[in-house]
């Protein structure tokens, strides 16, 4: 770079600094904001700098004089200044500004007005003149939004912040960019919020010398009006082309042989706009059974995806100390050749053969109808290609940039309604189409041809649970809008979305989405209903579905749910009662916790169902299931449902979902779906289907056998679009019998008899070898209840555990709970004692 650029030392010609000049009659040389000495001069970069990677030598603003100033304004102004050079150059780069017209702070007036000129004089006595026109070769020291110049450039370049970087604040940080200028050593001049913007500062003008072989003896800066011009620096350049002319951003795939982590990639005279992972396609990418969940048939190359924006003369540097790599490449050579290799580092330009804007349509293979889906495009090099309008860098942080995109197990996807537009590389690409649990997830290779405008993809339904009366739903969703809920529901083939308003400290969410009915964004097959999750940090959480009116207060009892210093104002039992009074559905979310007051409420029959959320463990019986079994083992008839507790783009809507069977002859409506859940013919799923019959009775139903007990015929079937491993019966919380199948099987059937001498419940669960967003591919049924001698199921160990729990609740309420008044405290104590008494009654009757 030292051989290319030669900053001139203008210090001997400095004649101005921050001091503003009084021209008389309340007129000042530089416009100000009420205080004459408070001008935009103070925000100009100073010292040895690098603008667009090019060095400039500017004075130190702490001195009285640190730049060159000219103006034809009389008084103490200087009309022209001679700047010695004595060198040859192909180009002359100026960093300068002028004042706005008529003394305004910022204005759009005066465009094209000539304010001065440069005279380039050569050693042979010849000279060349360059007029300086406002908004062309020079521009105002501070200008209005949208009033950028035609020919010169701002001294600042655009730089990225990470998707989770909050230095710019949450809102601004989502844009991912800020303006920066750099010190002479290449370090940024400040933090992302400290370096100004591209509407003020030095303006850079590239002058192409018509006589590059002749020595330049001097440059004269001359004002041709009363408007001042400030010249910060001049740099001579020996490059053939404009050094500030950077071609558009390009994406490259970076491979470092032997690397185990992301390499450090830097661009001299440029910007690394983004570095992320590459998803390299393996030999079995198109055939793997793991399709749909961001894994399978691929390897992740950490940091291998790099977006570069910079000068073709710039240097791309790749370093990986552990892999022994430290290589440098000329960016223009990579762009010209499409790839480059040095030592262990290989670089390949993504879409080197060009790109094509394509209109994509996804259709149901059988009907030809447009269908929503979750979709992933990638280049042959492994770069994720986001449909237009979607995030390439998906934010999976809590309550940030929610909706329309997701990332599962590190792989990004976009939700589309069945159509999208996307800029795809010409040539080989890959696409993955996923649509919930009832469509075959597919990956395919697509060849994009030059000039191609359309691409049609097919989604194949494997089975339709609606034909059997089952409709799917997610009982637990946060932060999405009603519209994004509807979009993602279409993409996941999810029939019901329960979007829940709630409180999080001082933050309230989704209240504004509440209508007291089905959201207007709903469709015939995809219903969105906004209700609420009421929460207390100690006592528990409770989901109130199908509300006609919101139930307040939404949270009490202090943080993290309520605000600091909060008190218990109402019981969760009160919330359940308020919901049921409206005909709503009460769900105990994310079993088994928090179970403080919920334990009593379940025993007292306040809950309509219990939710499996993010505790699926496959063959291992997880804590969610164990908690569920405990309630069933004390005589509760409690359907199981599935919900995601989705609070970020890192959770798939409906990844844990409910299947509920509508009553015979009922149409699909939200109310009928809630009635189906309450009736108990449900199962929870992360990707599998399950059907349980006991003596012909379906899930949620009861059968009675004589008081001496007997045997019951059981038949259970599980199936999935993903492989399954095992299927088992659970009787009163104990594994009873299982069926294990060969690798790759997608259905399992188990027929057996269960002999029992006491009342029991029988449920079924299945699992597969592959992980989904919410855990392994699984399904868990609601029970069929077997009453022997008109007694409920009751296991002594679980009963004793819960009776002790009730005693603990009484102690907490008496000793350390903070309540609105003694009446609330007393009612909670009474609830725990009533629940304990009910458990004791059941124990005695078993």
At 374-386, the pLDDT tens digits run 999 999 999 999 9
Percent of the chain with pLDDT over 90: 93
Is 174 among the domain residues? no
pLDDT band, residue 2 (cuts 50/70/90) = low
CATH code, domain with 765: 2.60.40.10
CATH code, domain with 668: 3.20.20.140
Backbone angles phi, psi at 681, to 5 degrees: -85, 80
pLDDT for position 312: 98
pLDDT for position 360: 99
Q: Are residues 473 and 584 in the same domain?
A: yes
- 84-112 in b/e burial notation, b at 16+ Cβ within 10 A? ebeebbbbbbbbbbbbbbebebbbeebbe
| Of 707 and 428, more confident | 428
Query: Residue 633 region, left (φ>0) first, then alpha (ψ -120 to 50), else beta?
Result: alpha
User: End of a domain among 237, 269, 289?
Assistant: 237
Residue 580 corresponds to which tokens in the numbers above?
A: 């049921």
Percent of the chain with pLDDT over 70: 100
Residues 729, 751 contacting (CB under 8 angstroms): no
Q: Are residues 290 and 321 in the same domain?
A: yes
Q: Residue 74 and residue 844: Cα distance in Å, rounded?
A: 107
End-to-end CA distance of the chain: 89
Instruction: Tell me: pLDDT of 13 over 70.
Output: yes
Q: How far is CA 264 from CA 163, 251, 256, in A?
A: 18, 16, 11
CATH code, domain with 436: 2.60.40.1120
Q: Are residues 668 and 521 in the same domain?
A: yes
Query: Residue 169 region, left (φ>0) first, then alpha (ψ -120 to 50), else beta?
Result: left
The overall average pLDDT reported for the chain is 96
- Taking alpha carbons only, the member of 210, 198, 31, 231 closest to residue 129 is 210
Q: Are residues 617 and 738 in the same domain?
A: no
At 63-96, the pLDDT tens digits run 999 999 999 998 789 999 999 999 999 999 999 9
pLDDT for position 717: 99
- Taking alpha carbons only, the member of 813, 804, 473 closest to residue 630 is 804
CATH code, domain with 96: 2.60.120
Is 175 among the domain residues? no
User: End of a domain among 669, 685, 701?
Assistant: 685
pLDDT band, residue 27 (cuts 50/70/90) = confident
Q: Are residues 73 and 108 in the same domain?
A: yes
Neighbours of 326 (CB within 10 A): 16
> Which range among 74-78, 532-536, 764-768, 811-815 shows the weakest confidence by mean pLDDT?
74-78
pLDDT for position 166: 86
pLDDT for position 173: 86
Q: Give the Cα-Cα-Cα angle 434, 393, 375 (nearest 5 degrees).
A: 15
Q: Residue 700 and residue 761: Cα distance in Å, rounded?
A: 10
Q: Are residues 374 and 489 in the same domain?
A: no
Torsion of CA 78, 80, 83, 84, to 10 degrees: -120
Strand 127-133 and strand 114-122: the pairing is antiparallel
Is 165 among the domain residues? no
- 707-743 in b/e burial notation, b at 16+ Cβ within 10 A? eebeebebebbbbbbbbbbbbbbbbbbeebbbbebee
Range of the domain at 807: 799-845
At 107-135, the pLDDT tens digits run 888 899 999 999 999 999 999 999 999 99
At 284-343, the pLDDT tens digits run 999 999 999 999 999 999 999 999 999 999 999 999 999 999 999 999 999 999 999 999
Is 181 among the domain residues? no
Q: Are residues 779 and 818 in the same domain?
A: no
Mean pLDDT in residue range 562-591: 98
Is 152 among the domain residues? yes
Q: Give the Cα-Cα-Cα angle 162, 164, 167 (nearest 5 degrees).
A: 75
pLDDT band, residue 170 (cuts 50/70/90) = confident
pLDDT for position 77: 92
Q: Are residues 52 and 96 in the same domain?
A: yes
pLDDT band, residue 1 (cuts 50/70/90) = very low
Mean pLDDT in residue range 729-735: 98
| Of 34 and 97, more confident | 97
Torsion of CA 720, 726, 731, 736, to 10 degrees: 150
pLDDT for position 565: 97
Residue 568 corresponds to which tokens in the numbers above?
A: 């218990």
Torsion of CA 190, 191, 196, 201, to 10 degrees: 20
Give SS3 for 70: strand
- Residue 196: exposed, middle, or buried by beta-carbon count in 10 A (0-12, 13-18, 19+)? buried
User: End of a domain among 654, 685, 716?
Assistant: 685
Residue 281's contacts (CB-CB under 8 Å, 6 or more residues apart) are 297, 298, 378, 380, 382, 430
Q: How far is CA 813 from CA 539, 595, 786, 822, 839, in A?
A: 10, 15, 37, 10, 20
Q: Are residues 679 and 592 in the same domain?
A: yes
pLDDT for position 138: 98
Q: Residue 275 half-sphere exposure, CB side, CA atoms within 13 Å?
A: 17
Q: Residue 683 and residue 778: Cα distance in Å, rounded?
A: 10
Residues 727, 739 contacting (CB under 8 angstroms): yes
Is 608 among the domain residues? yes
Beta bridge partners of 315: 268, 330
Q: Are residues 696 and 623 in the same domain?
A: no
Q: Are residues 220 and 260 in the same domain?
A: no
Q: Residue 393 and residue 400: Cα distance in Å, rounded?
A: 13
Q: Are residues 492 and 579 in the same domain?
A: yes
This prediction has a pTM of 0.94
Is 138 among the domain residues? yes
At 709-721, the pLDDT tens digits run 999 999 999 999 9
- 794-819 in b/e burial notation, b at 16+ Cβ within 10 A? bbeebbeebbebbeebbebbeeebeb
At 470-525, the pLDDT tens digits run 999 999 999 999 999 999 999 999 999 999 999 999 999 999 999 999 999 999 99
Backbone angles phi, psi at 167, to 5 degrees: -60, -30
pLDDT for position 846: 81
Is 300 among the domain residues? yes
* C-alpha dihedral sign at 503, 506, 507, 513: positive
Q: How many folded domains does the chain comprise?
A: 6
């Amino acid at each position: 770079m030292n051989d290319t650029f030669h900053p001139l030392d203008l210090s001997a010609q400095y004649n101005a600094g921050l001091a503003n000049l009084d021209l008389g009659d309340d007129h000042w040389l530089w416009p100000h904001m009420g205080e004459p000495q408070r001008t935009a001069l103070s925000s100009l970069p100073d010292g040895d700098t690098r603008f667009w990677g090019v060095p400039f030598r500017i004075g130190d603003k702490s001195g009285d004089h640190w730049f060159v100033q000219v103006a034809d304004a009389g008084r103490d102004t200087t009309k022209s200044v001679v700047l010695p050079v004595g060198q040859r150059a192909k180009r002359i780069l100026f960093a300068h500004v002028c004042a706005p017209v008529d003394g305004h702070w910022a204005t759009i007036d005066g465009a094209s007005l000539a304010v001065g000129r440069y005279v380039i004089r050569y050693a042979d006595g010849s000279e060349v003149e360059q007029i300086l026109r406002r908004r062309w070769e020079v521009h105002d020291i501070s200008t209005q939004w949208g009033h950028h110049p035609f020919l010169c450039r701002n001294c600042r370049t655009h730089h990225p912040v990470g998707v989770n970087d909050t230095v710019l604040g949450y809102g601004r940080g989502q844009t991912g960019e800020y303006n920066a200028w750099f010190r002479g050593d290449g370090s940024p001049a400040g933090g992302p919020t400290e370096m100004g913007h591209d509407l003020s500062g030095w303006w850079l003008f590239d002058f192409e010398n018509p006589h590059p072989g002749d020595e330049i003896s001097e440059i004269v800066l001359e004002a041709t009006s009363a408007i001042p011009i400030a010249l910060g620096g001049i740099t001579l350049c020996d490059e053939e082309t404009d050094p500030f002319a950077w071609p558009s951003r390009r994406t490259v795939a970076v491979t470092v042989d032997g690397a185990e982590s992301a390499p450090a990639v830097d661009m001299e005279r440029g910007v690394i706009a983004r570095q992320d992972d590459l998803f390299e396609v393996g030999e079995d990418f198109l055939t793997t059974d793991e399709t749909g969940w961001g894994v399978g048939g691929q390897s992740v190359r950490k940091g291998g995806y790099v977006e570069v924006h910079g000068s073709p003369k710039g240097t791309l540097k790749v370093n990986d100390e552990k892999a022994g790599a430290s290589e440098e490449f000329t960016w223009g050579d990579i762009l010209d050749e499409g790839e480059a290799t040095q030592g262990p580092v290989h670089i390949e330009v993504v879409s080197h053969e060009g790109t094509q804007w394509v209109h994509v349509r996804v259709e149901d293979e059988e009907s030809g109808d447009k269908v929503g889906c979750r979709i992933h495009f990638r280049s042959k090099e492994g770069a994720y290609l986001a449909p237009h309008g979607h995030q390439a860098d998906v934010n999976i942080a809590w309550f940030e940039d929610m909706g329309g995109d997701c990332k599962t197990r590190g792989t990004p996807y976009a939700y589309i309604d069945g159509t999208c537009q996307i800029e795809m590389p010409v040539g080989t690409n890959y696409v993955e189409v996923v649509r919930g649990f009832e469509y075959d997830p597919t990956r395919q290779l697509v060849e994009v041809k030059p000039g191609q405008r359309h691409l049609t993809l097919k989604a194949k339904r494997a089975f339709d649970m609606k034909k059997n009366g089952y409709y799917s739903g997610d009982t637990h969703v946060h932060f999405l809008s009603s519209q994004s809920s509807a979009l993602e529901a279409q993409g996941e083939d999810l029939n019901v979305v329960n979007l829940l308003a709630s409180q999080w400290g001082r933050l309230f969410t989704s209240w504004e989405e509440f209508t007291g009915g089905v959201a207007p964004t709903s469709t015939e097959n995809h219903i969105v209903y906004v209700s609420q999750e009421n929460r207390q940090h100690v006592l528990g959480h409770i989901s109130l579905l199908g509300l006609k009116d919101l139930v307040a207060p939404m949270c009490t009892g202090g943080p993290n749910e309520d605000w600091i210093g909060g008190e218990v104002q109402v019981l969760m039992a009160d919330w359940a009662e308020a919901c049921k009074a409206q005909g709503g559905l009460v769900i105990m979310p994310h079993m088994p916790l928090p179970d403080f007051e919920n334990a009593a409420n379940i025993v007292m029959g306040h809950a309509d169902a219990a939710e499996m959320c993010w505790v699926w463990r496959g063959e291992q019986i997880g804590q969610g299931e164990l908690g569920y079994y405990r309630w069933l083992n004390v005589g509760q008839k409690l359907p199981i449902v599935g919900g995601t507790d989705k609070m970020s783009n890192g959770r798939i809507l409906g990844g844990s979902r409910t299947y509920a069977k509508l009553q015979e002859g009922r149409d699909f409506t939200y109310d009928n779906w809630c009635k189906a859940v309450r009736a108990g013919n449900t199962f929870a799923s992360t990707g599998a289907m399950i059907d349980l019959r006991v003596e012909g009775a379906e899930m949620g139903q009861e059968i009675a056998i004589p008081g001496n007990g007997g045997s019951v015929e059981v038949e259970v079937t599980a199936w999935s679009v993903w492989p399954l491993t095992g299927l088992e019966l659970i009787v009163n919380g104990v594994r009873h019998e299982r069926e294990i199948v060969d690798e790759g099987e997608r259905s399992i059937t188990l027929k057996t008899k269960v002999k029992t001498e006491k009342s029991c419940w029988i449920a079924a669960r299945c699992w597969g070898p592959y992980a989904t967003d919410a855990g392994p591919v699984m399904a868990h049924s609601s029970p069929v209840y077997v009453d022997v001698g008109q007694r409920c199921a009751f296991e002594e160990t679980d009963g004793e555990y819960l009776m002790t729990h009730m005693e603990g609740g009484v102690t907490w309420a008496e000793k350390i709970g903070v309540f609105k008044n003694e009446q609330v405290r007393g009612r909670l104590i009474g609830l725990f004692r009533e629940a304990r008494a009910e458990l004791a009654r059941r124990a005695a009757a078993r």
